[in-house]
């Protein structure tokens, strides 16, 4: 009894293997896939794709990081002008910076917030949230909580803070819009600028945290560098006088610190109100 040959479903060379649309060039006009994708299952073709993707993605990443770190305001200006193809998108860049900070820093958030958990004389817990809460330790008869209590509270605090920390970018963008709405009326464009600045701030915070490890007096260097960066970015984007730019940059940096401390206090209050510790 003869064996029937199984019919193979093939796609013509003139059709895209991904969506079936008719090809009219090197890439599919419907889905963007390469016309040669999937037609050359050879090791050489795979290695070519591997090298191409590595150079393309990493090249764009390095180029974006270089502009972010050394050319304040350039990425935001490029985005506003519609030139987006050469750069990593703002939200992705921000999330990468947040992830790097989470892995490299011992503090919470771009202010590298620390938590000090103590007990009041009446036995209730007292929580201090700051970059250097140790300066407030032992006041009014308070005594340190146990290491286990501190670790448990810190874990819950980090979880709560993570749930609300991204709202900081939205609030900062709103503050920027209030100051510059006559020059840039679209809130979303201010949000793009906020994402770029926060990405830089999270990365600089890692450097600031390392400096604090050598000398606590250097803890403010990160904020100082971030403030200078913001000043130069605003100057590039809006081209106002130096006096007006310095004033607005100072207002935004003040708002920045207040927003982060407020969110930290809210997260700590929520944990404390829900029982805090088991």
One digit per residue, pLDDT tens: the chain, 278 residues? 455 544 444 444 578 877 878 877 777 877 767 766 655 556 665 555 555 554 454 568 888 999 999 999 999 999 999 988 889 999 999 998 988 888 887 777 888 777 788 888 777 777 777 666 666 676 777 788 888 888 888 888 888 888 888 899 999 999 999 999 999 999 999 999 999 999 999 999 888 776 655 565 666 788 899 999 999 999 999 999 999 999 999 999 999 989 988 998 888 888 877 765 55
Do the domain assignments include residue 63? no
Distance CA(151)–CA(146), nearest Å, equals 9
pLDDT at 221: 80
Do the domain assignments include residue 53? no
Chain mean position to CA 265: 21
Alpha helices in the chain, H assignment, sequence order: 43-70, 74-80, 90-104, 147-164, 167-180, 187-214, 221-238, 242-273
pLDDT at 50: 52
Do the domain assignments include residue 83? no
Do the domain assignments include residue 206? yes
pLDDT at 196: 97
C-beta neighbour count of 159 within 10 angstroms: 11
pLDDT at 55: 47
Do the domain assignments include residue 187? yes
Exposure of 6 by Cβ count < 10 A (0-12 exposed, 13-18 middle, 19+ buried)?
A: exposed
Do the domain assignments include residue 260? yes
CB of 112 within 8 A of CB of 131? Answer: yes
Furthest C-alpha separation in the chain: 96
Q: Output the CA–CA distances (angstroms, integers) from residue 24 to 10, 28, 125, in the order listed.
A: 19, 7, 70
Where in the sequence is the domain holding 161, given as residue range(s)?
90-273
Q: How many domains does the chain divide into?
A: 1
pLDDT at 276: 53
pLDDT at 49: 59
Do the domain assignments include residue 198? yes
Do the domain assignments include residue 96? yes
The pTM assigned to this predicted structure is 0.75
CA triplet 85, 165, 278: central angle to 5 degrees? 145
């Amino acid at each position: 009894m003869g064996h029937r040959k199984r019919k193979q479903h093939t796609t013509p060379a003139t059709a895209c293997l991904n969506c079936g649309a008719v090809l009219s060039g090197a890439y599919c006009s419907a889905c963007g896939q390469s016309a040669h994708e999937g037609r050359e299952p050879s090791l050489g073709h795979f290695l070519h794709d591997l090298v191409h993707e590595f150079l393309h993605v990493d090249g764009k990443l390095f180029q974006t990081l270089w502009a972010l770190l050394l050319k304040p305001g350039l990425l935001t200006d490029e985005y506003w002008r519609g030139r987006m193809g050469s750069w990593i998108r703002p939200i992705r860049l921000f999330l990468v910076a947040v992830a790097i900070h989470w892995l490299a820093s011992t503090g919470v958030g771009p202010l590298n917030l620390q938590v000090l958990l103590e007990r009041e004389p009446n036995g209730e817990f007292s929580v201090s949230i700051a970059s250097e809460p140790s300066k407030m330790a032992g006041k009014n008869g308070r005594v340190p909580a146990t290491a286990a209590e501190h670790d448990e509270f810190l874990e819950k605090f980090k979880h709560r803070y993570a749930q609300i920390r991204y709202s900081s970018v939205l609030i900062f963008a709103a503050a920027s819009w209030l100051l510059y709405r006559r020059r840039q009326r679209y809130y979303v464009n201010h949000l793009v600028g906020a994402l770029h600045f926060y990405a830089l701030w999270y990365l600089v915070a890692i450097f600031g945290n390392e400096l604090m490890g050598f000398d606590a007096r250097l803890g403010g260097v990160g904020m100082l560098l971030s403030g200078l960066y913001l000043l130069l970015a605003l100057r590039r984007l809006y081209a106002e006088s130096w006096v007006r730019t310095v004033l607005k940059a100072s207002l935004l940096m003040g708002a920045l610190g207040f927003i982060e401390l407020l969110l930290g206090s809210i997260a700590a209050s929520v944990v404390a109100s829900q029982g805090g510790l088991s």
